[in-house]
Amino acid sequence: MQVLFLVPPETVSLESSVPKALEGGKGYYPKLGLMYVAAWYEQAIGRRPDFIDCPPEGIDQAALLAHVAAKQPDLVAMSIMTFNLLDALETARALKQAHPNLKICLGGPHVNLYPRETLRQPEVDYVVFGEGETIFTRLMEVLEAEGPDSPRLAGIPGLGFKQDGTCRVNPPQTELLELDTLPFPARHLVDVTRYQHIIKEGRQFFTLQATRGCPAACTFCDIRKTRFRARSAENVVAEIEQLVDMGLDDLFFVDDTITINKKFVLDLCDRIVRRGLKLHFKISARVDTVNPELLSALRRAGCYRIHYGIESATERHLRYLEKGQTREKIERACRWTRDAGIGIFAYMMIGIPHETKQEMFDTVDFAKRIRPDYAQFSICTPYPKTELYFRMLREKIIPYDYWQAFAENPTPDFKIRFWNKDFTEEELRRLQDECHARFYRSPTYLMKQIARVKSWSDFTAKARMGTRILTQRLGV
Ligand code: B12
pLDDT at 201: 80
d(CA 255, CA 405): 30
pLDDT at 24: 47
The reply to whether ligand 1 has any atom less than 6 angstroms from the CB of 223 is yes
Residue 383 has pLDDT above 70, yes or no: yes
pLDDT at 27: 42
Measured from the Cα of 209, ligand 1's closest atom is 27
Measured from the Cα of 212, ligand 1's closest atom is 57
- pLDDT above 70 covers a percentage of the chain that reads 90
Residue 449 has pLDDT above 80, yes or no: no
pLDDT one-digit tens code per residue, 288-310:
999 999 999 999 999 999 999 99
The set of residues, in sequence order, having a beta carbon less than 8 Å from that of 182 and lying 6+ positions away, is 36, 39, 40, 133
Give the least confident one: 99-108, 145-154, 216-225, 418-427.
Answer: 418-427
Read off the amino acid at residue 348. M
User: Would you call 402 exposed, middle or buried from its count of C-beta atoms within 10 A (0-12, 13-18, 19+)?
Assistant: middle
Under DSSP, is residue 204 helix (H, G, I), strand (E, B) or coil?
coil
The reply to whether ligand 1 has any atom less than 6 angstroms from the CB of 133 is yes
Under the banding of pLDDT at 50, 70 and 90, the label for residue 420 is confident
Among 152, 156, 89, residue whose Cα is nearest residue 128 = 156
Q: How many residues can be counted in the chain? A: 476
Residue of higher predicted confidence among 201 and 77: 77
Under the banding of pLDDT at 50, 70 and 90, the label for residue 442 is confident
pLDDT one-digit tens code per residue, 72-89:
999 999 999 999 999 999
The reply to whether ligand 1 has any atom less than 6 angstroms from the CB of 226 is no
pLDDT at 419: 76
Among 211, 327, 193, residue whose Cα is nearest residue 248 = 193
pTM strictly above 0.85: yes
Residue 6 has pLDDT above 60, yes or no: yes
Sign of CA dihedral 281, 282, 283, 288: positive
Under the banding of pLDDT at 50, 70 and 90, the label for residue 179 is very high
The reply to whether ligand 1 has any atom less than 6 angstroms from the CB of 24 is yes
Residue of higher predicted confidence among 363 and 203: 363
Under the banding of pLDDT at 50, 70 and 90, the label for residue 28 is confident
CA angle 356, 361, 365 (to 5 degrees): 145
Output the residue whose Cα is nearest ligand 1's atom 31. 33
CB 90 within 8 A of CB 8: yes
The reply to whether ligand 1 has any atom less than 6 angstroms from the CB of 13 is yes
Among 37, 15, 33, 128, residue whose Cα is nearest residue 82 = 15
pLDDT at 466: 60
The count of other CB atoms within 10 Å of the CB of residue 273 is 13
pLDDT at 417: 79
pLDDT at 196: 84
- Best substitution site from 79, 91, 378 to test ligand 1's pocket, by max atoms within 8 Å of Cβ? 79
The set of residues, in sequence order, having a beta carbon less than 8 Å from that of 159 and lying 6+ positions away, is 126, 127, 128, 135, 138, 139, 153, 170
Output the residue whose Cα is nearest ligand 1's atom 6. 29
d(CA 268, CA 220): 30
